[in-house]
Amino acid sequence: MKADTRNASIAAHESEGSWRTTAMHALPFVTVFGFAAIVPMVTNDYWALIATRAAIYWLLVSGLNLVVGFAGQLAIGYVALLTLGAYTTSVLVSGNVMPLFAAFGVAAVFGAVFGVVVGLPALRLRTFYFAMSTLGFATIVTQIALAWQSVTGGGIGIAGPEFPAPFNTTTGFFYFCLGCAVLGTWMTANVAHSRFGRALIAIRDAEVATESLGISKPRMLVAIFVLAGAFAAFAGGLFATLQTYITPDAFSFDLSVLFFIAILIGGRGSILGPLLGTVILTLLPEFAAPLAAWSTFLYAVLLLAVVLVAPGGIAALLDFKNRRPLQTNRAIIPRPALLPDILSRERAGANIALRGITLSFGAVRAIDGLDLDIAPGRIHGLIGPNGSGKTTTLNVISGYYAPQSGTVSLGGTALEPGRPETRAEHGIARTFQTPRIVGEASVLQNVMVGGTIAGQGTLVESLLALPRHRRDERMLEDAAKLALRVVGLESLAPVRADRLQHSELRFLEIARALMLRPQFLMLDEPAAGLSVDEIARLGELIREISRQGVGVLLVEHHADLIFDICDQITVLNLGRTLAAGTPSEIRQHKEVVSAYLGG
């Protein structure tokens, strides 16, 4: 009875803490939208129209922010989707094809479709090449609007739709657009703080690691392009109403610059920062009216100032908690005894088998006819001089490299080469020679990314914060906190990962890998940069992981660690197996001693 009472008390305390955290996160948005709501009451219609414009722009930017700020895709030409939505809504309403709100729905669907069309080059093009493709699409849309005179009115233009009462006044229309902006903020914030939002940031900053966690970049980006396109086109319909009459000239390059820079000065991976950036850039020309013709120049100066003064944007300036000094002389104390709680999964008992693997890079043969077996519940060490093919072997198993010959199989089933995102579903997890983490995300969020494929809710469920989304978040957060306790980093859960020491990043990667509840764990030089005590604790943690039935493949230069914890060792030299056997056998192997151990 006492235990039940204590558990109920803990649950109530955690629930209260969760509500308090939610309220603290919501307070800045409530403040911004609260001030916006009183604009028509304390100013004239002109400023109400400016505020309406800011709300419409933000509706577009809130979706674009997921593409640019979270996924890191340089989509500059999103004015094209604003144009598409404006013309679609206006043509459908002016031609009496359908009522206004139905036309908004059709515009959003068109925007979603063309959002994918705009975004598809991102699957092949990167950085500025993709940016140029989006600008090219914007130019195409403008030229079509000019040439298709029978529908769009060409250079003369077309009348924008009119809203019915009570939204047919300046104040009424403002509150409608403000409501849409609030709804768009809520929806995009739901996505940003879901497993999908964390996956987008991981794609942006740690794409290689993201693939090893089973996250499909193409699938994720297409879904976000659909969402951002729908938001942009819907905003276009509102923009057409605001303008009352639209021509291709209304959709200038300056607008594209405004949308893009609002996100950059707001800060990557933030919702509040780009919101404030959009408001600032919308109001700036009004306060600098004599310089209206220099608006693009003003935007560029503002961007340069932010880059020089606050590279992280407005969001970084407002991130007070991550300016607090961290405790010095921190010790990493793993708790291997907790591993059964996080590795509670049936073990298949099958081996990973490499047979006749050959891989060359030009004239260099990195792997030459390698045979290797990794057994469940065993620690297999892979050692050799630099350039002997150790990490290349891990990359072949992980699917990053496709060998020219040979096979990689799990329990007799061939693993598809060149498809790293398929390994996680087979229970194969790994860490990297250089830690691949999301520096701007918290330690807890980095670990939660590891469990992305364990979530059950869809993007739409996250968008609307439906029950399955909330269950996913509770499950992933609980599992991530447990993983951090296992590796001894639970006290650093809320800290930005880029503030951690190198040794802590090593254990952070292991915690993230444990989120997959792996059948096999591949560790690439996990002891590099660790102190003697930390190496000893790492060794005990790896031992306990293998005792839970997990097969471990350990690439490491610390010979003492290898010979202390491994059950089997394979020595590579120039991509070939120099020796294989137990630690005691390898210690006595003359070629290994002379070529590697220095005896």
C-alpha span between 123 and 115 (Å, rounded) = 13
Residues in Cβ contact with 31 at an 8 Å cutoff, skipping those fewer than 6 apart: none
pLDDT value for 8:
47
At residue 521, the pLDDT reads 96
| Predicted pLDDT at 293 | 65
Q: Which two tokens stand for residue 73?
A: 């895709």
Domain spanning 434-516: which CATH class is it, in words? alpha beta
What gap in Å lies between CA 97 and CA 199, rounded to an integer?
Answer: 41
C-alpha span between 422 and 413 (Å, rounded): 13
Q: Looking at residue 557, what DSSP letter applies? A: S
Provide the whole-model pTM.
0.89
For residue 71, what pLDDT is reported?
92
CATH 3.40.50.300 domain locations along the chain: 336-427+518-599, 434-516
How large is the angle between the packed helices 253-266 and 295-309, nearest 10 degrees?
20
Q: What is the pLDDT of residue 257?
A: 84
- Structure confidence at residue 290 (pLDDT): 64
Give rounded-to-5 percent helix, strand, coil for the chain.
60, 10, 25
At 406 the pLDDT is: 92
Q: What local confidence, expressed as pLDDT, does residue 291 receive?
A: 61
Amino acid at 150: S
List pLDDT tens digits, range 217-256: 999 999 999 999 999 999 999 999 999 888 888 888 888 8
Question: Are the CB atoms for 256 and 78 separated by under 8 Å?
Answer: yes
Alpha-carbon distance values, 127 to 62, 71, 217 (Å): 21, 12, 15
Is residue 166 reached through a cis peptide bond, with omega within 30 degrees of 0 on the bond before it?
Answer: yes
- If 0-12 CB within 10 Å is exposed, 13-18 middle and 19+ buried, where does residue 159 land? middle
- Cα distance between residue 414 and residue 394, in whole Å: 16
In this prediction, residue 19 carries a pLDDT of: 63
Candidates 221, 122, 218; CA nearest to 420 is: 218
Residues in the chain, pLDDT under 70: 1-21, 288-296, 345, 347-348, 595-599
Domain 336-427+518-599 architecture? 3-Layer(aba) Sandwich (3.40)
Could you give the angle at the alpha carbon of 355 between the alpha carbons of 567 and 372, nearest 5°? 10
Strand bridging mode 551-555 / 576-581: unpaired
pLDDT of 236 = 95
pLDDT value for 227: 95
- Residue with tokens 């609260």, as numbered in its chain: 34
pLDDT of residue 136: 85
Ordered DSSP codes for 330-349 = ------GGGHHHH--S----
Strand partners of residue 386: none
Query: Long-range contacts for 586-592 (Cβ within 8 Å, ≥24 apart)?
Result: 587/563
431-459 pLDDT, tens digit per residue, is 999 999 998 899 999 999 999 999 999 99
pLDDT for position 132:
84
Cβ partners under 8 Å of residue 474, min gap 6: none
DSSP state at residue 547: H
Where are any strands of DSSP class E within 375-486?
A: 379-383, 405-410, 413-414, 428-430
